Amino acid sequence: MCGTCGCGEDDHITYRKPGDHSILHTHSHDHGDLTHAHPHVHDHSHDHSHAHSHDHDHEHTHTVNLERNILSKNELLAERNRGYFEGMNIVALNLVSSPGSGKTSLLEKTITKIKGKLETAVIEGDQQTLNDANRIEKAGAPVIQINTGNGCHLDALMVNKAMKQLELKQGSILFIENVGNLVCPSLFDLGETKRVVIISVTEGDDKPAKYPTMFETADLCVINKTDLAPYVDFDEERLKATALQVNPRLEFISLSAKTEEGLENWINWLAALKK
Amino acid sequence: MHELSIAMQIIEIVDEESKNHAATGVSAIKLDIGTLSGIEPDALEFAMEEAVKGSIAELAKVYYNYIQAVAVCEECCHEFETHDYFKTCPFCNSLNTSLVKGKELKIAAIDLITN
């Protein structure tokens, strides 16, 4: 059965570049291939508790104390990605948000602004379509689109496969735009340098109260669409106070990707990561 | 519904361990799940029912040990139970607190059947 949608078929994850109508790679069930290093410690306490009275077939039950993290495979692969990024001096950012917060618009503006100063590349995650990848390509950055089918998040293996096809440049910034979802992506480390949660003022200032996990795991919170703030009931200070209760270390940048107000703070934050 | 991904990971690990030990079946899977691990118990239990089907663990009894989240205050060093991420210290009201328990997402043990 498929691990992401439970459909009874193999996963239908595709990796495509803009203009590509063929499917570059079909993700079949080979999750284990890259992680067969078996780093976990087997605590073999074979206490042969002959629970089943010794009758005919001499069947034994024994307990294996695994104490193993369920997400250990993802975490191991995420660390490999992280090591690759470090070795290549790449800053990788995992951008998470609800659908429609303006992640792609912010990326378009960012790519245009830092063109010539910093190399960028983008991994786009969506359930369907090449729409976002096409927008990013127009903005001028190499991009690969992961379509997760029914999957609700990206994982480290998807990023590992996608980045191999991107031919990342040394010293570049890699933006990984996660599937629009404030819940599931929080659990899956991709190997990113920093995690950025994006929220738009139209979503309401109680988002961190409703979806604390995402704010707890993020390093930076970008508050987008500030040009719309006068038209909606959005209390920026209340949002910050709530988010800080969940994560006292969270940083904030308010901006409007549309009007570019505050965009320089975001660009400066990116530039500081490259130092 | 990331719980299904989690359930599939559990079965993948159990399957691997069964092969390593030449087991013919799995009679129990014991899970440690923290109350702030990001897992919805009902969703995970439902996903596990589906995930075990057709696997070596099809007949296994799954035990869910939900671990109550506990935070520690970095200012006054008191430990306290918490039910959400808003872990203000009840002793000194500091926000500078961190979880010491409650993020677990672990297979504690499995019972394997061997001949």
B93 Cβ contact partners less than 8 Å away, ≥ 6 residues apart? none
For chain B, domains (ranges, CATH) are 2-67+102-113 (3.30.2320.50)
Q: How far is CA A25 from CA A179, A242, B82, in A?
A: 19, 42, 44
Distance, CA of A143 to CA of A165 (rounded, Å): 9
Averaged confidence pLDDT in chain B: 94
Q: Evaluate if residue A6 carries a pLDDT over 60.
A: no
Distance, CA of A244 to CA of B87 (rounded, Å): 11
**CA-based nearest residue to A250, from A193, A167, A194, A185:** A194
pLDDT of residue A57: 60
Average pLDDT over residues B81-108: 90
ipTM for the predicted complex: 0.86
pLDDT of residue A157: 95
Q: What's the token pair of residue A116?
A: 């010539």
Tokens 């920026």 — which residue? A236
Query: Residue A185: phi, psi to the nearest 5?
Result: -60, -20
Q: How far is CA A30 from the centre of its chain?
A: 20
pLDDT of residue B96: 85
pLDDT of residue A55: 53
**CA-based nearest residue to A270, from A138, A107, A146:** A107
List the end-to-end C-alpha distance of chain A, in Å, as a whole number: 45
Average pLDDT over residues B57-82: 95
What is the largest distance, in Å, between two alpha-carbon atoms of chain B?
58
A8-51 pLDDT, tens digit per residue, is 444 578 999 888 876 544 444 444 443 334 444 444 445 555 55
How many contacts does A have with B, using Cβ atoms within 8 A? Answer: 115
A189-202 pLDDT, tens digit per residue, is 999 999 999 999 99
Helix, strand, coil in percent for chain B, rounding step 5:
25, 35, 40
Distance, CA of B97 to CA of A171 (rounded, Å): 36
Strand partners, B106: A69, B32
pLDDT of residue A248: 87
Q: Evaluate if residue A105 carries a pLDDT over 90.
A: yes
| Contact assignment for A67 to B4 by CB distance below 8 Å | no
pLDDT of residue A33: 40
Buried b (16+ CB within 10 A) or exposed e, B15-26: bebbeebebebb
Q: Are A247 and B97 in contact (CB under 8 A)?
A: no
Instruction: Sort out which chain B residues have CB atoms less than 8 A from A59's CB and list them.
Output: 24, 113-115
Tokens 């200070």 — which residue? A237
Q: How far is CA B14 from CA A50, B51, B55, B59, B108, in A?
A: 21, 12, 9, 13, 11
Chain B residues whose C-beta sits inside 8 Å of any chain A C-beta = 1-2, 4-6, 8-10, 12-13, 16-17, 21, 24, 27, 31, 38, 47, 50-51, 53-54, 84-88, 95-96, 105-115
pLDDT of residue A41: 43
Distance, CA of B56 to CA of A232 (rounded, Å): 54
Tokens 């992961």 — which residue? A146
**How many Cβ atoms sit within 10 Å of the Cβ of residue A72?**
18
Q: Evaluate if residue B22 carries a pLDDT over 90.
A: yes
Distance, CA of B69 to CA of B86 (rounded, Å): 12
For residue B104, what is the nearest residue in chain A, using CA coordinates? A69
pTM: 0.82
A206-258 pLDDT, tens digit per residue, is 999 989 989 999 999 999 999 999 999 999 999 999 999 889 899 999 999 99
Query: Which of B10, B21, B85 to probe the A interface (max A CBs under 10 A)?
Result: B85
Instruction: Sort out which chain A residues have CB atoms less than 8 A from B17's CB and list them.
Output: 64, 66
A53-75 pLDDT, tens digit per residue, is 555 567 889 999 999 999 999 99
Residue type, A230: P
A133-165 pLDDT, tens digit per residue, is 999 999 999 999 999 888 889 999 999 999 999
Strand runs labelled E in chain A: 14-16, 60-64, 68-69, 91-97, 120-126, 143-147, 173-177, 194-200, 220-224, 251-254
Average pLDDT over residues B54-64: 97
Q: A61-70, B7-16, B78-87: lowest mean pLDDT where?
A: B78-87
Q: What's the token pair of residue A175?
A: 């933006």
Burial of A8 per CB tally in 10 Å (0-12, 13-18, 19+): exposed
Q: A26-35, A113-122, A259-268, B57-66: lowest mean pLDDT where?
A: A26-35
Q: How large a percentage of chain B has pLDDT more than 90? A: 83
Buried b (16+ CB within 10 A) or exposed e, A159-177: bbbbbeebebeeebbbbbb
**CA-based nearest residue to A172, from A90, A110, A92:** A90
pLDDT of residue A275: 78
Q: Evaluate if residue B104 carries a pLDDT over 50.
A: yes
Of A66, A184, A248, which is closest to B110 when you measure between CB atoms?
Answer: A66
